[in-house]
A and B are shown apart, each in its own frame.
Chain A
Amino acid sequence: MKNINMEKARLLQGNEACVQGALYAGIQFFAGYPITPSTEIAEGLARELPRIGAKFIQMEDEIGSLAAVIGASNAGCKAMTATSGPGYSLMQEHIGYAYITETPCVIIDVQRGGPSTGLPTKVSQSDTMQARWGTHGDYTAIAVAPSSVREVFEETVRAFNLAERFRTPVTVLTDEVLGHMREMMVIPEKGELEIVNRKKPDVPTDWYKHFDLTADFVSPMAAFGEGYRYNVSGLTHDQEGFPTAVPSEIKEKLDKLRNKIERFSDEIFKMRTEMMDDARIAVISYGSVARASYQAVKIAREKRIKVGAIQPLTIWPFPDAQLRQMLSGVKRVIVAELNMGQMVHEVRRVAPKGTEVFFMGRYDGEVMTPQQIVSKIGEVK
């Protein structure tokens, strides 16, 4: 903890920081369903949202929760839900609905052990791939992964910004450890962090196309009740939002969903690195594991091993170009995750030819320790 202003600092639980981040970002609607270890987010917003005149509802299940969030977003609200693995699985159909209808919304997934009911009170990072491929069909995902209480706050704000900028659902992958741990943090002042709002239409109502193909592939978005009477449908549709079966229109729509994110992925990219300048070995990790990695790399450096740490904060779109560049001088890479191997497949895919990729996974519900990572570094060097 460096240079923290102790007068302004608060001891916040990760889930509480998520609540504060959502409030900072200007959340106007939350719908959720209780599920360990995310419940504190719903509870915090149940207390805070009525106090600021924003809307809170506990829906009858996770499916209904994301449905209500999407409905509210189309009615103009910045909207969010929070859940864990089992609920995230239930939400997949509507995540796809949000993709195809280009509805901005934020989904917090406080990951726990799976599959199925799994380990409600123990940690894992096993939804990494689900965040990219969970729902059926072709689409491009945005997912971010904080690794500290402060980052939970910042990434929640960033998730809202990305959702609004790209008119898409954004998943924040936290986990049971981050959700329930407590750290000191200073909540930023108003104006310190950028807040992004969706582009509004600048044409007369008769000329408005809810899925207008623009230069940056992101259509301005009017809300229900603002005078633009448009149609939103989960059926593959044309620029007006009417269902289509015309092959060129279908392709145009799906290309748009991909292009709007892939062509502007620089705006989404976020990564943190430590001691990578002269590193011959790199430890790639994310979420709560990154905390252990930074510690492990420090310990290994004391033993004169040239190792560095790479922490992607944006998980999806995966930082292909940036990671490939970063690994160009690196001989060996260790990918450390709390699962049986998910991000490692992406790393293998983009690693340059001369770089060897090693996987270390922990999936017994316990945290990855710095010592474990140090051992692995010793093994591969």
Chain B
Amino acid sequence: MTTEVQHSDITHHYLRAKKKFPNVWCAGCGNGIVMGALIRAIDKLGLDKDNVAIVSGIGCSSRMPVYMDFNTLHTAHGRALAFATGVKMAKPSMKVIVITGDGDALAIGGNHFIHACRRNIDITTILVNNRIYGMTGGQFSPTTTGGAIATTAPYGNYEKQFDVVNLATAAGASYVARGTVYHVQQLEKLIEGGITKKGFALIEAVSNCHTYYGRLNREGDAVAMISWMKEHAMPIQAAAKLPPEKMVGKFVTGLIHETNATEFCEEYDRLVERLAAKEAGK
């Protein structure tokens, strides 16, 4: 471990004192680990609490914002990015962070997801991917592994899956990364990079739902599922050097795609300036 780790109780300084703790998630749920990484990233960047807005949809990961002492907006299922677009356009100087899940963002929220990527609007989205609908009891999602059991796929999931990173990249996001709840320090850095990036940043946080996914598919408890991430994640720099056979069963982590593209709010501001100049020149 490096010596750059912040004070161990830094997270406590960003929690809402009036909220009930311990948090609502199951024991060992990766959501809490992601929340820790997010708070540490915000702290590292020295962001002003008043200038941060956190928007979420509906689902287990969407319960995250309420616990944190920022401007928080807990919206409707799948719609966090649309609400966040309004917040960001209204107050472009605020840092707007969206917390969403695999079902929230890619099923019902799929349309808003691809358009937010397309606009390259300066929002940082953390998509907690636990490959299931946890809040409603274990139904399959657009990222549930083929063949896996879910309550609405009792004979095994025969649907295909989205690759979150590929989808976001193809739709136009300018910063696309994947982390896991095991590799927390990498996750924290990816979140920092996403917040700093001027443009749409998508960080997929591979997480564990041992309560439903793990139990239905015999993948074990929180420790077992998180250990699996440790064994099967491959950082992109290392993956680049490996032959394809060595990558079977593994998934790539790190900053996978980054590009520079004009950002939506900036484009709008440029239009406003142009019109004002034209008006003044009359």
Partners in one complex: yes
Question: Is A64 a contact of B111 with CB atoms below 8 Å?
Answer: yes
The reply to whether A234 and B76 contact each other, CB–CB distance below 8 Å, is: yes
The stretch from B87-95, B174-182, B247-255 touching chain A is: B87-95
Question: Closest chain B residue to A47 by CB distance?
Answer: B275
- A162 within 8 A of partner (CB): no
Tell me, yes or no, whether A280 is within 8 Å of chain B by CB: no
Q: Are B86 and A79 in contact (CB under 8 A)?
A: yes
B86 touches A67 (CB 8 A): yes
**Contact status B76-A67, CB under 8 Å:** yes
Asked if B90 and A67 make an inter-chain contact with CB atoms under 8 angstroms apart, the answer reads no
Q: What is the CA–CA distance of A51 and B50 in the complex, to the nearest angstrom? A: 29
Distance of B96 from chain A, by nearest CB (Å):
9
Q: Chain A interface secondary structure, helix, strand, loop or mixed? A: mixed
Name the contact of B90 in the complex, choosing from A28, A97, A229, A235 (C-beta under 8 A): A28
**CB proximity of B191 to chain A, nearest CB, Å:** 20
Given A64-B111, A74-B73, A75-B91, verify A224-B79 contact (CB < 8 Å).
no
The answer to whether the Cβ of B168 comes within 8 Å of any Cβ in the partner chain is no
Asked if B70 contacts A229 (CB within 8 A), the reply is yes
A231 to B91, CA, bound (A): 17
Interface size band for B:
35 or more
* Cβ B111 vs Cβ A60 within 8 A: yes
In this assembly, does B125 line the interface, its C-beta being within 8 Å of a C-beta of chain A? no
Contact between A229 and B69, CB atoms less than 8 A apart: yes
| A63 and B82 contacting across the interface, CB-CB below 8 Å | yes
Q: Kindly state the separation between the CA atoms of A69 and B85 in the bound complex, as whole angstroms.
A: 9
Is the pair A68, B86 in contact by a Cβ cutoff of 8 Å? Answer: yes
Contacts of A225 in B (CB 8 A): 50-51, 53, 71, 91, 93-94
Q: Is A316 an interface residue (CB 8 A)?
A: no
A49 to chain B, nearest CB (A): 9
Question: Which of B261-282 touch A at CB < 8 Å?
Answer: 268, 271-272, 275-276, 279
Separation of A129 and B268 alpha carbons in the complex (Å): 38
Name the interface residues of B58-108: CB closer than 8 Å to any CB of A. Answer: 65-66, 69-76, 79, 82-91, 93-94
Q: Contact: B86 with A69, CB < 8 Å?
A: yes
A53-74 vs B, Cβ < 8 Å mask (1 yes, 0 no): 1010101110111011111111
- Closest residue of B by beta carbon distance from A227: B50
Chain A residues bordering chain B, tally (CB within 8 A): 44
Q: Which A residues touch B65, using CB under 8 A?
A: 231
B-contact 0/1 string along A227-247, CB 8 Å cutoff = 101111111000010110000
B190 within 8 A of A: no
- In the complex, chain B residues whose CB is within 8 Å of the CB of A28: 90
Q: Is A217 an interface residue (CB 8 A)?
A: no
Cβ of B241 under 8 Å from chain A:
no
CB distance from A235 to the nearest CB of B (A): 7
Q: Is B55's CB within 8 Å of the partner chain A? A: yes
With A50-B275, A60-B115, A231-B66 in contact, is A67–B53 under 8 Å at CB?
no
Whether A233 lies near B90 (C-beta < 8 A) is: no
Q: What is the bound-complex CA distance between A77 and B87, given in angstroms? A: 9
The smallest beta-carbon distance between A72 and chain B, in angstroms, is 4
The winner among A28, A67, A229, A235 for most chain B CB atoms within 10 A is: A67
If A31-B86, A51-B275, A76-B90 touch, whether A224 touches B76 (CB-CB below 8 Å) is: no
Q: What are 21 A-B contacts with C-beta separation under 8 Å? A: A29-B89, A50-B272, A55-B89, A63-B79, A67-B85, A68-B85, A69-B86, A71-B55, A71-B73, A71-B75, A71-B85, A72-B86, A74-B73, A224-B87, A225-B50, A225-B71, A225-B94, A230-B71, A231-B66, A232-B73, A243-B66
Contacts beyond the supplied A74-B87, A75-B94, A234-B74: 13 A-B pairs with Cβ under 8 Å: A60-B111, A63-B82, A67-B82, A71-B73, A71-B75, A75-B86, A75-B87, A75-B90, A76-B90, A76-B91, A94-B76, A227-B50, A231-B65
| Chain A residues with a Cβ under 8 A of chain B | 28-29, 31, 50-51, 53, 55, 57, 59-61, 63-65, 67-77, 79, 93-94, 97, 223-227, 229-235, 240, 242-243
Q: Which 5 A-B pairs have the closest CB atoms?
A: A71-B86, A68-B86, A67-B82, A75-B90, A64-B82
B contact residues vs A (CB 8 Å cutoff): 16, 18-19, 49-51, 53, 55, 65-66, 69-76, 79, 82-91, 93-94, 111-112, 115, 268, 271-272, 275-276, 279
